[in-house]
């Protein structure tokens, strides 16, 4: 707050005495005005018989009032009191009042400014805290996005792995079921049996025959591993009736140029 101005002190005339003297002068002027008003009222009570005389009187009053009005417009206000001590005392009192009012306004403005500064500091602190929270949330969001991506990739890989395991298990079931079916219904030729078989048993080839299940597995692996060259050469380990069975039912196909080579029909295409 600004340094307070020194109080104005009256050294000559007290404000109370100056006011009393000023009031006496105002009462004297007021009495003069009342006397003038009484004279005007007396003039207004005069009666005239003729209307022309009344109009002439009214016109004269209008001219007089207009002249008086113009005179008052040109006239500068006069100082009521001519006592310098009274004027100085009254001026000092008015200045003291203005000074007190200005000090009160200054105090109020400074108080408001202080409150505004405090509010501004609180708002700035709140803004900084909100920015920190926002940065933290952005960091958490980025981390969550990375975790979601990693989790999604891991989950997709795990799902694919589970599907592959299910397919392998299903494949094993199919292979086992096919093996059991072929072993039951399409076994290898028996070594014992009738006299004809015994007679032919001495002529059995030295090569060990493979089962129909094994033939199908070899054809499937050949087709899947080398789809551009899926043909397999028939050797002595393939029992001819099994080969004929596969060709007759359209499970296998012969090479168009080499009858000793066969391939599995591409059922998956």
Split at pLDDT 50, 70, 90, the class of 24 is: confident
Cα 137 from Cα 216, distance rounded (Å): 62
The secondary structure of 3-59 as a DSSP string is PPPPPP--SSS-HHHHHHHHHHHHHHHHHHHHHHHHHHHHHHT---SSHHHHHHHHH
CB-count burial class (<10 Å; 0-12, 13-18, 19+) for 93 = middle
Nearest to 263 by CA among 235, 237, 228, 231: 231
Q: What is the mean predicted confidence (pLDDT) over 213-225?
A: 89
Split at pLDDT 50, 70, 90, the class of 146 is: confident
Q: What is the mean predicted confidence (pLDDT) over 137-165?
A: 84
Split at pLDDT 50, 70, 90, the class of 83 is: confident
Q: What is the mean predicted confidence (pLDDT) over 188-205?
A: 50
pLDDT at 195: 35
Which ranges of the chain does DSSP label H, i.e. alpha helix? 15-44, 51-74, 84-185, 195-201, 212-225, 240-248
Please report, for the chain, the start and end positions of each structural domain, with discontinuous segments joined by +. Answer: 205-269
pLDDT at 7: 47
Nearest to 18 by CA among 108, 91, 123, 74: 91
Cα 58 from Cα 40, distance rounded (Å): 13
11 has a pLDDT exceeding 80? no
The helix-helix angle for 84-185 and 212-225 (nearest 10°) equals: 140
Q: Maximum Cα–Cα distance for the chain, whole Å? A: 184
pLDDT at 263: 92
Chain centre to alpha carbon of residue 86: 72
Cα 265 from Cα 252, distance rounded (Å): 5
Lowest mean pLDDT of 38-52, 125-139, 172-186, name the range. 38-52
Q: Would you call 193 helix, strand, or coil by DSSP?
A: coil
Q: What is the mean predicted confidence (pLDDT) over 232-261?
A: 91
* pLDDT higher at 46 or 134: 134
pLDDT at 123: 93
pLDDT at 196: 41
How does pLDDT run across 70-82, given as a tens digit for each residue? 777 776 656 566 6
135 has a pLDDT exceeding 80? yes
* pLDDT higher at 153 or 233: 233
* pLDDT higher at 155 or 265: 265
Residues 167, 161: contact at Cβ < 8 Å? no
pLDDT at 118: 93
How does pLDDT run across 108-124, given as a tens digit for each residue? 999 999 999 999 999 99
Taking the alpha carbons at both ends of the chain, their separation in whole angstroms is: 96
pLDDT at 46: 53
Cα 104 from Cα 117, distance rounded (Å): 20
């Amino acid at each position: 707050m600004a340094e307070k101005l020194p109080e104005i002190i009256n050294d000559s005339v007290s404000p109370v005495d100056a006011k009393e003297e000023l009031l006496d002068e105002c009462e004297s002027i007021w009495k003069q005005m009342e006397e003038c008003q009484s004279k005007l009222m007396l003039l207004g009570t005069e009666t005239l018989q003729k209307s022309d005389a009344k109009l002439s009187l009214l016109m004269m009053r209008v001219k007089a009032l207009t002249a008086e009005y113009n005179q008052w417009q040109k006239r500068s206000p006069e100082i009521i009191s001519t006592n310098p001590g009274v004027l100085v005392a009254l001026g000092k009192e008015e200045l003291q009042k203005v000074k007190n009012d200005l000090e009160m306004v200054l105090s109020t403005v400074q108080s408001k400014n202080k409150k505004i500064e405090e509010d501004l500091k609180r708002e700035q602190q709140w803004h900084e805290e909100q920015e920190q929270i926002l940065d933290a949330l952005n960091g958490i969001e980025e981390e969550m996005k990375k975790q979601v991506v990693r989790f999604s990739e891991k989950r997709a890989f795990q799902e694919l792995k589970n599907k592959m395991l299910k397919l392998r298990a299903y494949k094993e079931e199919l292979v086992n079921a096919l093996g059991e079916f072929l072993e039951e219904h399409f076994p290898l030729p028996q070594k014992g049996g009738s006299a004809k078989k015994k007679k032919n048993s001495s002529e059995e080839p030295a090569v060990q025959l493979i089962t129909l299940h094994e033939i199908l597995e070899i054809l499937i692996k050949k087709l899947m591993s080398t789809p551009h060259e899926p043909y397999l050469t028939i050797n002595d380990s393939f029992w001819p009736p099994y080969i004929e069975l596969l060709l007759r039912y359209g499970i296998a196909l012969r090479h168009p140029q080499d009858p000793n080579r066969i391939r599995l029909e591409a059922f998956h295409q």
